[in-house]
Chains A and B, each alone.
Chain A
Amino acid sequence: MRGTLIFIGQNIRRASILALALGGIVTLCTGSSRAAVADDTIKIGVVLPTTGSESKPGQYQKEGIELAIKQINDAGGIMVKSKGKKLKVEEVFYDDGTDSKKSASLTERAMSSDGVVAVLGGYSTALGTAESVMADRYKTPWITTGAGATAIFGKGYQYAFGSLSPVALIGTTSAEFLGSLMDQGKLKKGLKVAMVVENTDHGTDYVQGFTDWSNKHPGYFQIVLNEKFELGATDFSGILQKVKNSHADIFLSDAHLPDYITMHRQYLQNGLHHQMVSYGARGPEANARQALGAGTDYIFAGIWWSNMLPYPQAKKFATDYKAFTGHDVDSWYAAPAYDGMRILAQAIAAAGSLDKTAIRDALKKAQLKDSVLPGQVLKFAANGQSEYPFVITQNKPGNKVDIVFPKDAATGEPVAPNPNK
């Protein structure tokens, strides 16, 4: 009998601790229901990674969207005709943890049950593609601010939009930039190019864009190496050896930030040198310059936005962003997200109602005339993707970055060939 009592006694203690813990979690979960919020706001779902391997760019994009929302709300909100008044925007944020299963699931959740009128998000192609499926399924406008692979948009989707220009254009613009240097005589024609890109859609599109230009303009480049590497590799010495043996004059890569840092470290340590070096859409990031110091000087990058763009609205965005987040705008990530939110707000106002299809129709016609992005106008092509020019930036000594291409946006002269030894 005593044994039983002790047994029960232990049970009570252990069971109650665990039950308490579980009960706590369940209460926390059911405590505040999102549906209870008053309906005189416009809910916008934001699905981005703020944990996991894409968390940094995801964070920047989140900040860009939140800045836009803050500015819209400070101005009183968006005028919605059908309601007869200005409504404030309410962000419903979801962290997908850089897991595409979750991205899709959370997007679906936002569209089907959390009452949002549109969803922004999807940083990196894989996560964005997983989300894109949901837009047409729930007839809810979805704007990806961070997935630029063309594969997402070729599917006849009616509700999917993107505020990034196609990735292939980075390759094309890079080729065009190098070609212009050859025309100017800064580089010799017919240089050998080694390409080592990440094994993703992003990498594939980049190579595609570059080779397309190169094929159309014979005599400029000779591609001597074209290899892919797996994301998150730790040792690049094998692949860099191949680069060395290819005796290329130009080294082009396309990589995520951590891989860019690791690969370029090993590149420098191995004493490699090329006339021009690029890591695709990566280059001017603060974390990279901190990791590599002067080693990143003269790297050029094809990016969607730069704080060096000479437009007043771009300058204002950079200042506002710093005031809002407390840190400088880092590379391009925040800008397409900021404009993605702004064009959505404009479309909602144009639609004059919170009807999702009306907003979609308005998005198709929308033109953001004071866009901070290159070209100063953001609009969507028939397939939903936007197409604006890229800028080529080049890192200069002393943490400086200059736009070096196209000519009309340039803030400095391109330095070629790379004087680093």
Chain B
Amino acid sequence: MVGWLKTILPWLLLAVLLLLPKTNPSDNLIRLLFITAVWTTTSLGWNLLGGMAGQVSFGFAVFFGLGAYTTALLMHAGHSPYFGFIGGAAIAMLASFLIGLPTFRLRGPYFVIATIGVTEAVRVIMNNLDVTGGSSGYRITEDQPFSQNEHYYSAIVAVALAVLVSTVIANSKFGLALRAIKQDEDAAADLGVNPYTSKLWVHAIAAGLTGIAGGIYARRAAFFYPGDVFAFQTGISILLMPVIGGIGTVWGPVLGGVIYGMVEEEISVKFPNLHLLIYGSLLIAIILLEPDGLLGLLRRVFRLFPSQQAKTKLAGNPG
């Protein structure tokens, strides 16, 4: 019963999201869902590398920004925006190899710190690059009128793709290999997993998803600049979402993306003087009280009221 519900629920959710614009919702709801979908896509991407393979990167802003710039430049050259998104993904993946090839030789804190160095260096270089408008940023102008729904659909498709990719990886041999790397890299290597190439590939997939999200974001924002898309802060936001939601799972990052996309803006609008305090405290509370994120919390709450079947299981399992 429960298992059946679990398979049907995501499809139901997708159907609701796709049919939503037909019901004439407010512009604001569509906008919030768009933002949520974009951030959830990056969150799922980050989670593949950070959650499943355990490689914490602060550098995802690079892929987000490259996706944005590539899409904008391709659109400027007269290509369709959808070709732009794919191009953004491709360039982000290429960059992920350039970054990953040297840095994945590093372990633990050194990898984390290297990713910080890369983002900052890329940001300053992009600020000075004349081809992309340097620090003035880049502006996308489209001839066709602004269509709220078109942007919305492209973001929903991206997030559905991200969920699909995550689910497939989580249930595959590749996913197992990633989890083995997270547990113990040396042991994984002994079991015949090549940690280096596995990390490179999952990094590329994660970067591709983030690049698409960056492109979709950029097309709707229509203006962006390096101090924004390549900011350290952007990288931190991308990593906060899966942590808030529940790291290493498929639905945790989605939950985190929803919190970030919807709740954070509400907080900052309602409490212009206290939003940092509230958001910071929320983060502290989640980390100290529920290391598995909100998804872990939900699981616990449901376990408090277990079905009969689960109760007997628990009873049969002392300790």
Residues in A lying within 8 Å of B, measured CB to CB: 1, 3-4, 8, 11-12, 14-15, 17-19, 21-22, 25-26, 28-30, 32, 50-51, 93-95, 97, 99-102, 104-106, 108-109, 112-114, 126, 129-130, 132-133, 137-138, 149, 151, 155, 199-201, 204, 230-231
Contacts and interface: CB of A to CB of B under 8 A. Distances in A.
User: Which one of A3, A18, A50, A93 has the highest number of Cβ atoms from chain B below 10 Å of its Cβ?
Assistant: A18
Given A3-B319, A104-B223, A204 B263 contact: no
Interface string B282-319: 10011001100010010011011000000000110111
Contact of B272 (A94, A108, A113): A94
B228 A109 contact: no
B27 A112 contact: yes
Contact of A100 (B225, B266, B275): B225
> Interface SS of chain A: helix, strand, loop or mixed?
helix
A4 B314 CA distance: 7
Contacts of B272: 50, 93-95
B245 to A, nearest CB: 13
B134 A199 contact: yes
B136 A130 contact: no
Contacts of A30: 266
B276 A51 contact: yes
B4 interface: no
Given A95-B272, A129-B223, A25 B263 contact: yes
Contact of B224 (A3, A32, A100, A230): A100
A231 B135 CA distance: 10
A71 B56 CA distance: 53
Given A18-B289, A100-B225, A95 B318 contact: no
A100 B304 contact: no
B270 A8 contact: no
Given A29-B263, A155-B141, A199-B128, A130 B221 contact: yes
A354 B186 CA distance: 68
Nearest to B266: A29
A101 B228 contact: yes
A15 B301 contact: yes
Contact of A130 (B27, B228, B281): B228
A15 B319 contact: no
B172 interface: no
Contacts of B128: 199
A379 B126 CA distance: 37
Q: Which 9 A-B pairs rank lowest in CB-CB distance, beginning with the nearest? A: A113-B28, A112-B27, A95-B272, A29-B266, A133-B222, A3-B319, A100-B228, A18-B289, A201-B136
B28 A201 contact: no
Interface string B206-242: 0000000000000001111101100001100000000
A138 B267 CA distance: 24
